[in-house]
Amino acid sequence: MTTWNNEIAEARGLLARRRVIVTYDLIYRGANVIGVRDAISVWCEARGCALEVIALTVGVRFRLVGEQQTVRQAVGMVREWIRAAA
């Protein structure tokens, strides 16, 4: 019985340590694209997420890639980044 309990505990530990990676895409068509990009870049660098910048015909797409919790925080920061760059 102890071996079974140890296996369950080990499986739970693995699940708890598993990192869920997600992406968030933000289409930005406003002014000061470079300022917004720099703000997002600094924020991501400090938190270990990646930023991809994709030029569009009109505007740019910022793609954030990282752990679920970090990307969720990023979603809450969008307005602040845009205000800071304005």
Question: What pLDDT does 21 receive?
Answer: 84
Report, as an integer, the average pLDDT of 54-67: 93
The residues facing 51 across adjacent strands are 64
User: What's the whole-number average pLDDT of the chain?
Assistant: 83
Question: What pLDDT does 82 receive?
Answer: 83
Domain boundaries, the chain: 20-85
Predicted TM-score (pTM) above 0.85: no
Task: Give residue 27's pLDDT band: very low, low, confident or very high (50, 70, 90).
Answer: very high
Tell the burial category of 35 from Cβ atoms under 10 Å away from its Cβ (0-12, 13-18, 19+).
Answer: middle
Cα distance between the two ends of the chain: 63
Question: What pLDDT does 85 receive?
Answer: 75
- What are the CA-CA distances from residue 3 to residues 10, 11, 13, 52 (Å)? 10, 12, 15, 46
Fold of 20-85: Ribosomal Protein S8; Chain: A, domain 1 (3.30.1370)
Report, as an integer, the average pLDDT of 42-63: 92
Q: Which residue has the higher pLDDT, 16 or 62?
A: 62
